[in-house]
Amino acid sequence: MRKFIGLFLAIILSASFMQAQVKVYSDYYAVYFKDKAGTPYSIDKPEQFLSKKSIDRRKKFDIPINKQDLPVSPVYVKKLQDAGFEVIKVSKWLNCAIVKTENIANYTKLSSMDFVINKPEPLAKDYRYKTYKRYKSKEKLEQSKDKYNYGKALTQTQMLNINLLHNEGYTGKGVTIAILDGGFFHVNELPAFKSLWKNGQIKGWYDFVDMDTTVFDEGTHGMMVLSTIGGNTEQLVGTAPDADFWLFVTEDGDSEYPIEEYNYVIAAEMADSIGVDIIHSSLGYADFDDKSLSYKYEDLNGNTAVSTIGADIASSKGILVVTSAGNEGNDPWRYVSAPADADSILAVGAVNFKGKYGSFSSQGPSYDNRIKPEVCAQGVSATVQLSNGRIGTANGTSFSGPIMAGAVACLVQAFPDKSNMEIIEAVIRNSSQAKSPDEKLGYGIPDFYKAFKYLEKR
């Protein structure tokens, strides 16, 4: 596992830029390169840096392999190291390196290097200690008459009519989902995930914060997210119980700095390289611990935030990207956060079990007046696996998002020759408010059986 992960990390980067007031105080900086001169790889030999599955996806949907796919220049990385900088990680899509330095003179040196463009972007102070919220459970068992006994997850499943696709045999089998989150506490032990391990559906994992493979020792959030998609017990069946999964930690739970957006992009690059079909994240970025680095509403335009840029690049590679809208509906900042403002993804809001708007769910539109979120699923008292081994409930678009991602995986299984954007179009067109979208529910709650029939006719 370590060797395989290391291989793809070593070949992990195109250029887009955040505009921010630069203050020399940060331990971590993003250093953007002017080009990829010196890379030993060639777009004529993509098998050197992309998996067969990734190459096959591009061929299927006629997506060209271009310079954006090439790894960063090792020549530039070495020059940074020779100059005394610790290179923490690199991004090929953004064509940059994340470096650590505490010396102001070194910062000045970075800006003067001839292969660096723009001023290095401050990302984070040195941080380490992680904490995660834990959720209280509230149980009420229900029975299902469908293929599965969904238990307490019955309502959130039937709301989307995804149970009808399950009855047709579409359960996400053969579809690979990468989950980007903050930790997958005891996924290797808790009951909801036993079938995933038994059937070999957990394909791999990596922590992009600590740069290691320790992801199961802390962070309950990603564990609960995964349970809504791949859980399979008598009390909880997820929306894609037969899908395959890669588990990536990109979020540091004790702080909020732009470096986490770069973690998101680098993880998305790896997801692309190994050939995933869907990326889901229950993450959102707007307000940072250093307020001078925070986004403004006008930045939520689909082209500014680093994670938004990464999400759209992932979509351009043929990956279907799903993200939670955010939980700021009751706050002064009530809008969706990045990367939910991206224009080629599904951003998902939250409703209750009756399909009514969850007041905490972030609203649209995007700054450039696009409908956000696109769709909604149950995120009020959603059924999840809890860290204590019990099945309970939790609130947030963090759970409506993955419920939707699993449902989408069933459509991808049913129609493997449909592009990511064709699948998204089918979901939107067959949602409850398709003809009259608004800023709270977007196009509404999708009917996945109708979307299935719609795609059958296309």
- Shared-domain flag, residues 101 and 191: no
Is position 179 within any domain? yes
Is position 299 within any domain? yes
- Shared-domain flag, residues 304 and 372: yes
Mean pLDDT of the chain: 89
Say how many domains are in the chain: 2
Is position 414 within any domain? yes
- Shared-domain flag, residues 71 and 203: no
- Shared-domain flag, residues 79 and 216: no
The CB-side HSE value for 298 (13 A sphere, CA atoms) comes to 1
- Shared-domain flag, residues 366 and 242: yes
Q: How far apart are CA 386 and CA 226, in angstroms?
A: 11
Is position 23 within any domain? yes
Question: Which residues, given as ranges, of the chain have pLDDT below 70?
Answer: 1-26, 103-105, 125-145
- Shared-domain flag, residues 104 and 165: no
- Shared-domain flag, residues 118 and 162: no
pLDDT on residue 121? 76
pLDDT on residue 146? 74
- Shared-domain flag, residues 120 and 163: no
Is position 143 within any domain? no
- Shared-domain flag, residues 118 and 158: no
- Shared-domain flag, residues 287 and 429: yes
Q: How far apart are CA 384 and CA 275, in angstroms?
A: 28
Is position 377 within any domain? yes
Is position 34 within any domain? yes
Range of the domain at 109: 2-124
Q: What is the pTM of this model?
A: 0.89
Compute the C-alpha angle 400/357/178, nearest 5°. Answer: 15
Q: Specify the CATH number for the domain of residue 448.
A: 3.40.50.200
pLDDT on residue 77? 95
pLDDT on residue 380? 98
- Shared-domain flag, residues 108 and 193: no
